[in-house]
Structure 1
Amino acid sequence: MAGNSGSTGFLRRFAQSEAAPGIVLMICAALALVLANSPLAEPWHDLFHHRLAWTPIAKLYNLHLWINDALMAVFFFVVGLEIKREVLAGELADSRRRRLPVLAAIAGMAFPAAIFLLVAAGDPALHAGWAIPSATDIAFAIGVLAIAGKGLPPSLRLFLLTVAIVDDLGAVLVIAFFYTTGLDLAWLGAAAAILLGLALLNRFGIRAITPYLIGAALLWYAVLHSGVHATIAGVAAALTVPLALNRKHDSPLLRLEHALVTPNGFIVVPLFGLANAGVALTLGEGGSLTLPLAIALGLVLGKQIGVLGSIVLAEKLKIATRPEGASTRQLWGLSLLCGIGFTMSLFIAGLAFPATPLLVEESKLGILAGSLVSALGGLFLLKGSARVE
């Protein structure tokens, strides 16, 4: 009984730790990678890509589509809730405090894209993947930061979170504007009408959660058929959920975020990792190293140059000040952690090359390599850096 109680207590403490979602995601990614390079590779692939015997939505005809187009809408819904909370009541609400993380996030997206296009300049077929190395994975990055140990300034975590949230917003805009094709105006009109209805719920002071969840589901269904990627509906719906606090300092947005953050971190994102991280560690017939190299260099070098460079430049120009108590080594390590692009990078890779599975697989190699180097490099610089001035 005592042993059972101890293991239950450990699991509870682990689930409540900051590192837990990142560690679970790492385990799922590693499992997918092992299975994809084992004798079970073919049945593992078929599990996600084989056409289902029955599906209630014709467009989602296999498990991979259900995860990427439906379940990931929940991930984007949580992202939208986080963005709205930060903009209205968090770090992004204060113009002085948001200046540096916003600059760092923008530069941290621009430089990886520039390096990608520089490396892939000779092959126009690869140019659609320019946004793949621009993303930062919040769960992975925060997980590695937590593993780095105690003694780091609390301002580092806050800065990383804010940069990653702005980065997510940028990624959502990129998906909406650059990876949308074949619009169906009727479904798009229906989506706009549903979104307007959700906005009116907010405007008229509706605080019950259920109408927003029903509206979000309807919006997702309409967007799924509109030609815009269905997960954008998650962010759009989240932005209509009221944040206004009542006398108990509670709100529909905070209740939803609190309710969804655990299933998002321990179910949605790990399932996405299982379904998308599996890649053969050898180039297929006709494969090339150009795409993996462009993505890996974008993540490892581009993020460092963009994030750290913007912090140094902002300080020199007296535009903003660095996170309180943070050393240059710690900021360098943090900029490396921003190069962990896993979840969003894998997602964008599937959108960039929808008709070319070989390029998606090559993208995965670059994402995994770049994210691993960034994670290890950031961990090395941050580990024990509290004692380094």
Structure 2
Amino acid sequence: MPAAPRERSVFLALLPWPERVRVARALRTETVGGLVLLAAAVVALAWANTPISGTYEQIRDAHFGIPALGLDLSVEHWTADGLLAVFFLVAGIELKRELVVGELRTPATAALPVVAALCGMAVPAALYLATTGLGGGRAQGWAVPMATDIAFALAVLAVLSTHLPSALRAFLLTLAVVDDLGAILVIAVFFTADLNPAALGGAVAGLVLFYLLQRYRVRGWWWYVPLGLAIWALMYNGGVHATVAGVAMGLILRTTRDQGEKASPGERTEHLLRPVSAGVAVPLFALFAAGVAISAASLGEVFTRPEPLGVVLGLVVGKTVGIFAGTYLAARFTRARLNPDLAWADVLAVAVLAGIGFTVALLIGELAFPDPADAEHIKAAVLIGSLIAAAVAALLVKRRNGIYRRLWEAETLDEDADGLPDIYQQTDRRNRGTAGDS
């Protein structure tokens, strides 16, 4: 008797209720943070292009810290190396959760978003290298257009007042999580200089102690906060970008609950730090990283010099082509079928939206181009590329927003007011009926 054909999985299907609640909670915070981020970027641009731009530079370049510990940094570097470590700590927790209990926990469910994200990193980098190679530019900025800024993307959706279905938002979030991992690996491997083995060894020893405290269920912030600060300082002095410490600690934190535990250490930490990351850390970084002097000449150089042009093309074209092609090919090879309520045009809209590469792209741009004059051109390219991607995505999303509104209303309808949308009760009844027939 021939074996029954394997049932095809549904891509962008209705999220399970617990997953949807978690995604909605995370995205709500990121959306608010994204709006603050947008405001910070606008303030930075306005400040840097007014007669008082000198005060912006004075504050940005002002140094403070503890020189004896090797921590005498400028305000700009405190936000990039210090505050963004909080952002990457939250990203590490999110990635750990995805790997343990989320979409990335099994190869079957992880294949499609991971392939899409990897293609969304590889194609922009390749396009940048092709652009600089043909134009006689420098290849060192290949990693700048690789990352997606989830907060900025969600802020665009919030400004548009769209009703993007939860499955598409979750897919965008998963892409951003894998992007963040790729970015931190790139930073750790390609942007390390003057390694200090003693300090780096101390950071590794601190991470081992951090793991043991988690392994033996030791509780109390008074253990983890001083240890985390020490790991961060040692990582910075070890020559590895300090944000690596954040993502490493995030990956170590336990994200599964013990019996009788209301929330895991990862959940508690994420709950406390996500608002700080989205509402304070990232906007402050943007405030002191996005202040670019804009003129007709500088804008012209973005499209005539190979390095900034490669960044713009990587974000706008590379991200779109990479994510869309990767998603389509992965769906074909994994026999996944697209949710019949959606179309490939919706995947294209998300792929374009992922071209908004603000925060991490600015960070990598600063690392790749230490010369301030070069860094200014790359920052301008990141801003222009992200704005173009946002504008194109806005057109695509608004064009389909009527369909999204109907799906959103169906997903949220709760006529019996029991707190659980009716669509989940209908799905549960269908599943029970199918089980009874078998």
TM-score when normalising by structure 2: 0.80
* Cα distance, 1:41 vs structure 2: 1.3
Determine if contact 2:29/2:275 at 8 Å carries over to the other structure: no
CA-to-aligned-CA distance 1:280-339 (integer Å, 9 cap, x gap): 11356xx66322211000000000100011122223334544467332221111001110
The one-letter code matched in structure 1 to 2:131 is V
Which aligned runs of 4 or more in structure 1 are off by greater than 6 angstroms? Answer: 53-56
The one-letter code matched in structure 1 to 2:107 is S
Q: Give, in whole Å, the separation in 1 of the partners of 2:285 and 2:115.
A: 30
Cross-structure match for 1:11: none
Cross-structure match for 2:287: 274
Q: Give, in whole Å, the separation in 1 of the partners of 2:70 and 2:51.
A: 31
Seen in structure 2, the aligned counterparts of structure 1 residues 228 and 324 have a Cα distance that, compared at 3 Å, is farther
* Cα distance, 1:166 vs structure 2: 0.5
Seen in structure 2, the aligned counterparts of structure 1 residues 302 and 327 have a Cα distance that, compared at 3 Å, is same
Seen in structure 2, the aligned counterparts of structure 1 residues 145 and 94 have a Cα distance that, compared at 3 Å, is farther
Q: 5+ residue gaps in structure 1?
A: 1-14
Q: Is it true that 1:63 corresponds to 2:78 in the alignment?
A: no
The one-letter code matched in structure 1 to 2:321 is I
Q: Is it true that 1:133 corresponds to 2:149 in the alignment?
A: no
SS at the partner of 1:383? Answer: helix
- Where do 1:76-115 residues align within 5 Å? 76-115=88-127
* Cα distance, 1:60 vs structure 2: 3.0
Determine if contact 2:112/2:331 at 8 Å carries over to the other structure: no
Determine if contact 1:99/1:320 at 8 Å carries over to the other structure: no
SS at the partner of 2:138? Answer: helix
- Where do 1:1-389 residues align within 5 Å? 19-52=31-64, 57-122=69-134, 126-246=138-258, 247-282=260-295, 283=297, 289-322=305-338, 325-354=341-370, 356-387=371-402
Seen in structure 2, the aligned counterparts of structure 1 residues 74 and 173 have a Cα distance that, compared at 3 Å, is same
Seen in structure 2, the aligned counterparts of structure 1 residues 18 and 224 have a Cα distance that, compared at 3 Å, is closer
Determine if contact 1:156/1:326 at 8 Å carries over to the other structure: no
Determine if contact 1:135/1:167 at 8 Å carries over to the other structure: yes
Q: Give, in whole Å, the separation in 1 of the partners of 2:193 and 2:338.
A: 41
Greater Rg over alpha carbons, structure: 2
Q: Give, in whole Å, the separation in 2 of the partners of 1:243 and 1:85.
A: 6
Determine if contact 2:163/2:401 at 8 Å carries over to the other structure: yes
CA-to-aligned-CA distance 1:161-201 (integer Å, 9 cap, x gap): 00110010010111111111111111111111111111111
Q: How many residues align?
A: 373
Q: Give, in whole Å, the separation in 2 of the partners of 1:127 and 1:256.
A: 38
TM-score when normalising by structure 1: 0.90
The one-letter code matched in structure 1 to 2:33 is P
* Cα distance, 1:226 vs structure 2: 0.3
Q: Give, in whole Å, the separation in 2 of the partners of 1:239 and 1:323.
A: 32
The one-letter code matched in structure 1 to 2:380 is L
Seen in structure 2, the aligned counterparts of structure 1 residues 50 and 150 have a Cα distance that, compared at 3 Å, is closer
Q: Give, in whole Å, the separation in 1 of the partners of 2:234 and 2:100.
A: 28
Seen in structure 2, the aligned counterparts of structure 1 residues 333 and 92 have a Cα distance that, compared at 3 Å, is same
Q: Give, in whole Å, the separation in 1 of the partners of 2:127 and 2:308.
A: 12
SS at the partner of 1:281? Answer: coil
The one-letter code matched in structure 1 to 2:316 is V
Q: Which moved more, 1:156-165 or 1:139-148?
A: 139-148
Q: Give, in whole Å, the separation in 2 of the partners of 1:325 and 1:342.
A: 31
Seen in structure 2, the aligned counterparts of structure 1 residues 362 and 319 have a Cα distance that, compared at 3 Å, is farther
Quote the sequence identity (%): 39
Seen in structure 2, the aligned counterparts of structure 1 residues 174 and 115 have a Cα distance that, compared at 3 Å, is same
SS at the partner of 2:252? Answer: coil
Seen in structure 2, the aligned counterparts of structure 1 residues 324 and 131 have a Cα distance that, compared at 3 Å, is farther
Determine if contact 2:65/2:72 at 8 Å carries over to the other structure: no
Seen in structure 2, the aligned counterparts of structure 1 residues 322 and 100 have a Cα distance that, compared at 3 Å, is farther
CA-to-aligned-CA distance 1:246-284 (integer Å, 9 cap, x gap): 324311110110011111111111101100001011356
Q: Which moved more, 1:216-225 or 1:116-125?
A: 116-125
Cross-structure match for 1:7: none
The one-letter code matched in structure 2 to 1:117 is L
Q: Give, in whole Å, the separation in 2 of the partners of 1:133 and 1:319.
A: 30
Determine if contact 1:311/1:322 at 8 Å carries over to the other structure: no
Determine if contact 2:137/2:307 at 8 Å carries over to the other structure: no
* Cα distance, 1:125 vs structure 2: 6.1
